[in-house]
Structure 1
Amino acid sequence: MFRGFHNSLRLLFVVRTLARFDALFLLDTLEKAPLHVKLLRLILPLFAIGAPSHQHLRKGERLAGALQALGPSFIKLGQALSVRSDLLGEEIAQDLGNLRDKLPPFPYEKAKETVERELERPLNEVFVSFDEKPIAAASIAQVHYAEVEDSIPAPTEENPDAVCTERRKVAVKILRPDIEEAFQTDLRLFFWISGLAERFQPNFKRLRLTKIVEILEQSVELEMDLRMEAAAAAEMAENFEGDPEFSVPEIDWQRTAKRVMTQSRIDGISLSNRDEIIEAGHDMQALSAVVIRVFLKQVLRDGFFHADMHHGNLFITDDGKLVAVDFGIMGRMDRQTRLFMAEMLFAFLVGDYRRAAEVHFEAGYVPPHKSLDAFTQACRSIGEPILGKSVDEISLGRLLVQLFQTTETFEMETQPQLLLLQKTMVTAEGVAQSMNAKVNFWEVAHPTVEEWMLENMGPEAKAAQIVKDGLGFLNKLPDLVTKTDRLLTLIEERESQKDQKTDPADGPMQREVSAGFYLVTGVTAGAVLMYLLTAVLH
């Protein structure tokens, strides 16, 4: 009860802030809202009397301003909602997509205190120089430039143990003080609100708002531990080792802890500085294609992708290589989901709408009682307008709106595991388009998707998977035989105890035990033979 009262007070503050920004239009969508909510909708604008007017702004801009004023948790919520065009409309979703984590920095003294506490050493012992003014301040952390000095072996004939020092430029990311408590308070509120929304707006159940908040909670939990972000950066660096188009800053693990992360400094131009990139002589058309290819490699090849690929997190080096930073929000996709996404995307790319529809049914995304022919027609209505057109002629955001409308018609539930992918796809499209307005997303994507499908869905790949499954079964076989033998021994012992009281001779139980033994043995031998034969043939 106390939690409900606390959430109510917090909600009152939130709604009052929305009223100040004239962003209460969200309450108008609650068709079955209780009477007291409707009354609150009429009264709350009175609290905004005297506040600056925001009427000249679009709805999405007013909502984005209110969420930014409410703090980091609500900024993250706005970013999550930016992919829900079906819920808020395309224009509002686009405005929320422009929401950036720009907040006043916290004091240098707090940053110094955090570094020394986390690394258990004075700041001047960890870094030979440390800029007091941060270069960036976001909702969760801020970044300072610094320099470190490492000792490296430099043996000589006279002194085999000689060492020399090497100075490196680094960037140090530091979490905001007490950020964890602020997020936990607001996450509890988000769960409470999502529950109310699904209760009073039955149509919202299909959107699975509570599940979205759960994903937000998991994402925030990972972002609160910078060691997890460092591990994500290191994993992606391994995935792209030796790649000529993309790289990741090197993590300095000796200067990284839960609330502090140190990495090599990027010597490049932010993709947000388009004019500067052009002046440096970079090929904008080639760069836009690189953004798309890198995104598809992360999603399809690795199943592990940077889920915040906006301009501010991407840089271009002098040699034309794309470099990403800020690995706090990452997405993962299992192999089965990647296979589904690749086949569905390829079906759209080649105009095979029947197969695109079949894949949705096979994945269980469309209820089986729905018409395959009708869904094929719906897929065609989505795919035909975009094939062969450049990004400036189409909008993935608008495409997603139509796709979401189709999902409602065919009673398809929101797939939470795809939310980050949808958000990242729209972001990657925007980045690529800013580099080259005429880029054809599908034309660039086609070779990458086709190559991955041949490697993972062709005959050789399927045969290799069968062999892999067979070898896995063979590894488990000794344990299976042992357990089967123990089970049969136990059954025989129990039958033997019964035999002392009765004379079963060739009774039913003995025949069942024998039959069971031969059945298990036969199935096992057959399975082994099948896998061995498959391995030989392929």
Structure 2
Amino acid sequence: MSGLGAFGRLMGAGWVLVRNDALLPRELELLYPSGVLTLSKGLRLFAGRGARVGRPGERLARSLERLGPVAIKLGQLLSTRADLFGAPFAEDLSRLKDRLDPFPTAAARTAVENSLGQPIEALFASFGEPVAAASLAQAHEAALLDGRRVAVKVLRPGIARRITEDAEVLALAARLIERWAPPARRLEPRAFAATVIRATELELDLRLEAAGADELGEVMAKDGYMRAPAVVWEGVGKRVLTMEWARGTPLSDSGALDQPDLDRKALADNLIRAFLAQALDHGVFHADLHEGNLFVAAPAQLTAVDFGIIGRLGAPERRYLAEILWGFLQRDYERVARVHFEAGYVPATHSVSAFAQALRAVGEPVFGRAASQVAMSRVLAQLFEITALFDMRLRPELVLLQKTMMTVESVARRIDPDHDIWAAAEPVVRRWVARELSPASQVRRFASEAQAALRNLARMAEPPLAPAEPAIVAVRPVSRLRWLALGIALGALASGSAFLLSLLFR
């Protein structure tokens, strides 16, 4: 697509939102500052019939579905934040998770046969209608020849072309935001867009998803907080993924949490601990843990599906994350501040003590309180102001971590409105600190770093045998206050929603 074509699609996307009164909906007028209110009323002059049909969430869901896969993923993220936008709004968007219009089963069968290179009857005793349909693919219930019940995921026809078009539009939008919206520049919109685009492109090869599912299945089995269905490798191709049927009920179903003998507190705890154990202990985590990708069964069993987006953390990121979480658990704000400065998270021009004071202002009012007692919208606005005050910028390499933190915290809130995220996190973080920050582990880490430094010095002393390659500079990741202070704010910076909230709630 040419630059002109991308601009046309971007304008078309804006027009769809305006026509459906989904950009600045009239129902939120009381929240808008005066300038935004004037803009909202002006845009409404161009609204069409769709602007009069349904609630704001329903109108936005229709608009995002029409705009394509990347827009739908934004809707999925917003749908997890009932605490910010209200339960009706989140519920209206929830259909974007797994209840989109499916494509014909005949087309799915053809795609399976072409991808696997054999007739569908050679592997499946039965192949049913779609049971779930999302932005990139849909799932069919099937049975293998040996009788095992499986789920077969099939990519949508023409999805690669749609992703390419969406990627160019998203990249253009990021450039325009960076140029014309100075307050948003520290959110690194172009780098953020590139990260989202790359993650989405990787989802188009289901062989990679199968490998991620297999790897995370092994990781999950070590702790037992969450499980993954086994991959059926003979049913895996570039456009097809076959996995054993997930146990339980999709969390996106309205009655999922009403199952007999379901322990909501333990279920929410398991979700938080599963994510933290994956990220801290293993450096790899499921990065799309919304309700449509989680199945629940009594008493507190969680099964994850859809491993198209996998996040990874290196050893430094894991150490900084664990130390900051541990500092918050101990309410040692000075220690948390020092770790931020040591890691380069906050520029050295600022004061450690002043930053610790800012952390205390965020942490103390919410520490130990039930999620239902915390007004997250105002907390996010405060966090955005603090990160701006201390010149903290978004780090694209942590976008998936940030997004997942935001989603996991919100899903845990929905499972158990009185959930205490700190109590849930404490055992996993304590275990990591005891293992990795003990004197013996510190000695091993220092010895390893010294050996690496000596090897680098030795290589530098050797005469080059060929023209030197450009150096690859390791960039230290910069965290945020967000989930480190509450479990969610990191994700809001990545999506930019905190900026919007700071306007709406100031």
For the aligned pair, the TM-score class normalised by the smaller chain equals: 0.7 to 0.9
Residues 319, 12 of structure 1: CA spacing in aligned structure 2 closer, same or farther, 3 A cutoff? closer
Task: Please state whether the residue corresponding to 2:148 is helix, strand or coil.
Answer: strand
- CA deviations on 1:100-133 (whole Å, 9 max, x unpaired) are 23321101111011011000111111211111x1
| 2:394 is aligned with 1:414 | yes
Q: Deviations over 1:41-88 (max 9, x none)?
A: 99865553444415x744x66444422232222112445678999xxx
C-alpha change, 1:46 and 1:279, in structure 2 (3 Å) is closer
Contact conserved, 2:130 with 2:138, CA < 8 A, in 1?
A: yes
- The CA deviation at 1:278 is 4.5
TM-score normalised according to structure 1 size: 0.76
Q: Residues 472-487 of structure 1 correspond to what in structure 2 (within 5 A)?
A: 484=462
Q: Give % identity.
A: 39
Matched with 2:266 is: 286
- Asked if 1:383 is matched to 2:379, the reply is no
The answer to whether residue 106 in structure 2 is matched with residue 112 in structure 1 is: no
In structure 2, the CA distance between the partners of 1:103 and 1:275, relative to structure 1 (3 Å rule), is closer
Structure 1 residue 135 corresponds to structure 2 residue 131 = yes
Deviation of 1:316 after TM superposition, in Å, equals: 3.0
Say if 1:11 and 1:282 are closer, same or farther in 2 by CA, change over 3 A.
closer
Distance 2:284 2:23 in 1: 37
Which amino acid in the other structure matches residue 345 of structure 1? L
- Structure 2 matches for 1:141-156, cutoff 5 A? 141-149=137-145
What's the offset of the Cα at 1:400? 3.8
2:15 maps to what in 1? 16
Q: Larger Cα Rg: Structure 1 or Structure 2? A: 1
Distance across 1 between alignment mates of 2:356 and 2:382: 14
Residue 72 of structure 1 aligns with an amino acid whose one-letter code is: P
Cα distance in 2, alignment partners of residues 140 and 225 from structure 1: 11
Matches within 5 A, 1:522-537: none
- Within the candidate set 188, 196, 209, 2:168 is matched to 188
Question: Could you give the per-residue CA deviations for residues 272-311 of structure 1, whole angstroms, max 9, x where no partner exists?
Answer: 4575554432322222211121111012111211122122
Who is 1:72 aligned against? Answer: 69
2: CA distance, partners of 1:107 / 1:422 = 36
Determine which of 421, 436, 440 is the counterpart of 1:441.
421
Q: Deviations over 1:173-227 (max 9, x none)?
A: 0000010101111110111111112111112211111111111111111111111
Counterpart Cα distance in 2 of 1:146 and 1:400: 44
- The equivalent of 1:91 in structure 2 is 85
Aligned residues: 455
345, 352, 360: which is aligned to 1:365?
A: 345
Q: Distance in 2 between matches of 1:371 and 1:122?
A: 67
Q: Which among 185, 197, 206 is matched to residue 217 of structure 1?
A: 197
Report the 3-state secondary structure (helix = DSSP H, G, I; strand = E; otherwise coil) of the residue aligned with 2:296: strand
Change in CA separation of 1:93 and 1:342 when aligned onto 2, cut-off 3 Å: farther
Give me the TM-score of the superposition, normalised by structure 2.
Answer: 0.81
Task: Please tell me the residue identity of whatever aligns with 1:211.
Answer: A
* Residue identity in the other structure for 1:22: D
Equivalent residue number for residue 492 of structure 1? none
**Greater relative CO (CA pairs within 8 A, separation 6+):** 2
In structure 2, the CA distance between the partners of 1:12 and 1:432, relative to structure 1 (3 Å rule), is closer
**Corresponding residue SS for 1:402:** helix
Which of 280-289 and 115-124 deviates more?
A: 280-289
Q: 1:110 to 1:400 in 2, by over 3 A?
A: same
Mapped partners of 1:297, 1:428: distance in 2:
13
Does 1:349 find its partner at 2:329?
A: yes
Q: Is the 8 A contact 1:278 1:284 kept in 2?
A: no
Letter in 1 for 2:208: M
Q: Using the alignment, how far apart are the partners of 1:20 and 1:224 within structure 2?
A: 31
Instruction: Provide the rounded CA distance (Å) in 2 between the counterparts of 1:474 and 1:204.
Output: 42
RMSD of aligned alpha carbons = 3.4
**2:273–2:428: 8 Å Cα contact kept in structure 1?**
yes
> 2: distance between equivalents of 1:218 and 1:416?
11
8 A Cα contact 1:226 1:257, kept in partner? yes
Listed one character per residue, the Cα deviations across residues 21-60 of structure 1 (whole Å, up to 9, x for unaligned) are 113449x99x99xxxxx99x99865553444415x744x6
Q: Is this contact kept in 1: 2:288–2:309, CA < 8 A?
A: yes
